[in-house]
Structure 1
Amino acid sequence: MIDPVSTSAVKQLIQEFGLIPSKRRGQNFLVDKSIRKRMIDLLELNPDDAAVEIGPGFGALTIELAEQCRTLTAVEVDTRLMASLQLRFERKPNVRLISASVLDLSIDDLLQDEPVGKLISNVPYVITSPLITKILNHKDRFSTILLMIQKEVAQRLSADADTPEYGSLSLFVQYHADVKYCGRVANRAFYPVPEVDSAIVKLTPKESDLSPSVERRMFKLIKAAFSMRRKNLRNNLAGLIGDPDRAAAFLRSQDIDPARRGETLTLAEYKRLAKALSGRQLSRPPYSP
């Protein structure tokens, strides 16, 4: 079969398999070989690696991945794209294809008996946040997570405190992984051409440095602190700690000005607050981005 990484090849495959690209599913296919090479290089595969690809489409990345790792699991939700992949990889014993939504699968479904793997995805925009959350909640099973996502989301993942992009998702991801923004990908690198640019982000999971109970407390704090971005910490933490005055007193005891807003606090400061709240009864549910 033809290499799918060109506009003409994608058009031919779309016609051959009767596909109408779905905006809802974010079906914009990579047509730039230089971006493919950059993605594969950044994943840093070794011959003995187990790899997982989410949303392979027509196999733009898959054909290179299959040549460079020991086992590859590719998860595709669209049955018409799956038909194309089955034809292309039927003679590749190290490639395992799964026809399903990745959000409906367990991590064991993705990795089977492999203790750890590397994950790569040209992520459909609609599942970006839930996919990142799912994977990082099982970060011990992945040594590298390489994502091509909407540029604005990539900037949020790597954002510093006190910037417009910084938010609860930034803190969630940066707590669980080292984040490297690897560069913009112009919208013309895809067909059909999406309305926005993408970017490549590399996540390297790291060990949690808080106990599970303190970690849960920290994410409760973060959720409350960002509940109303224009309000200060004194007001946003009032419901969690008791009332505005108690919240203000607690913040002052930790050398944090109660008039500050949630987006000005660093991850280190949220960790410190969570540790200081040890033993207190908090009223809101744990954070999930």
Structure 2
Amino acid sequence: MSRDFKKPSGHKHKKQFGQNFLNNGRIIDRIVASIRPQSQDHMVEIGPGEAALTEPLINVVDRLEIIEIDNDLITPLKIRFAAKPAFHLHHTDALAFDYSTLLIDERPLRIVGNLPYNISSPLLFHLLNYAEHIQDMHFMLQKEVVDRLCSEPGNRNYGRLSVMIQYACQTEYLFTVGPENFDPPPKVDSAIVRLIPHRQKPFLADDEKVFAEVVKQSFSLKRKTLRNNLKGWMDNEQIEACDIDPGCRAETLSVEEFVKLANSYTALKQADH
């Protein structure tokens, strides 16, 4: 049975916060079923909005940390949930928040949210800083972003975001959500993604900052080859030594191949000093 959706009276959606709130109980139930919340979970919800996900989660989990920036939503959230033992509200910017401050015991964090389209990529990069403390993440994002997160090498959606997220996480496209399930309806489709940080990365960069820089530089000019984008970083012979063709484009390289390039570049820099 789908859950009744309660819309707080009088709240005006704010463009600066990218607010498009879920209003379909069946979709909400499907998201919760995908998350599979357990009583012992230490859950974090980013941008609860009108609490479509908050209610089903707070009635199950032991602790729910809520991150909300909108002043006008703080009081409604307190009125509805302050009496719940699991309720812990943080009136702050999710992009600047230190998620390690939420850790109170050995339990990892489970993070969920219907993320505003305008902050989704920077927020994902910010959360990767805390990957060792995160069990999993379930997000509603613009479908185009989820396509990029889950894309494979050679696909037109494959790019820097794909490589950086897949280096750190296992990614899974769960399902698509149409605009009609939101208030106000966005102009694009949304999708649910599951991200599970690797406990042990399949391919390990010797210097993760260098890895990030090499990936960024490799994709710096979309239509250019590695030979062009990495000019001044690595020459043809150095790229070929990684069993990679300098004439290929970045979007054809696997995460493993980017790690090879970055580790080779790290070794070259160390040899120069």
TM-score normalised by L of structure 2: 0.92
Partners of 2:221 and 2:99 lie apart in 1 by 34
Structure 1 counterpart of 2:176: 184
Structure 1 counterpart of 2:242: 254
Structure 2 counterpart of 1:151: 143
Q: Check whether the contact 1:31–1:191 (CA below 8 A) recurs between aligned residues.
A: yes
State the Cα distance separating 1:25 from its structure 2 match. 0.8
Structure 1 counterpart of 2:82: 90
Task: Please list, as runs of the form range in 1=range in 2, the aligned pairs for 1:122-271 lying within 5 A after superposition.
Answer: 122-206=114-198, 207-209=200-202, 213-241=206-234, 247-271=235-259
Structure 2 counterpart of 1:40: 32
Deviates more, 1:75-84 or 1:265-274: 265-274
Q: Check whether the contact 1:167–1:263 (CA below 8 A) recurs between aligned residues.
A: yes
State the Cα distance separating 1:234 from its structure 2 match. 0.7
CA RMSD, aligned part only? 1.8
Q: 1:57 aligns with which of 23, 46, 49?
A: 49
Partners of 1:215 and 1:104 lie apart in 2 by 21
Residues 52, 202 of structure 1: alpha-carbon distance in 2 compared, 3 angstrom cutoff: same
Letter in 2 for 1:258: P
| Sequence identity (%) | 34
- Structure 2 unmatched ranges of 5 or more: none
State the Cα distance separating 1:278 from its structure 2 match. 4.1
Residues 109, 253 of structure 1: alpha-carbon distance in 2 compared, 3 angstrom cutoff: closer
Partners of 1:121 and 1:155 lie apart in 2 by 18
SS, match of residue 113 in structure 2? strand
SS, match of residue 262 in structure 2? helix
Partners of 1:141 and 1:87 lie apart in 2 by 30
Structure 2 counterpart of 1:75: 67
Structure 1 counterpart of 2:269: 281
State the Cα distance separating 1:114 from its structure 2 match. 5.6
State the Cα distance separating 1:113 from its structure 2 match. 4.5
State the Cα distance separating 1:253 from its structure 2 match. 2.4
Count of aligned residue pairs for this structure pair: 267
Residues 32, 52 of structure 1: alpha-carbon distance in 2 compared, 3 angstrom cutoff: same
Structure 2 counterpart of 1:286: none
- Structure 1 unmatched ranges of 5 or more: 242-246, 283-289
Partners of 1:58 and 1:278 lie apart in 2 by 47
Q: Check whether the contact 2:150–2:173 (CA below 8 A) recurs between aligned residues.
A: yes
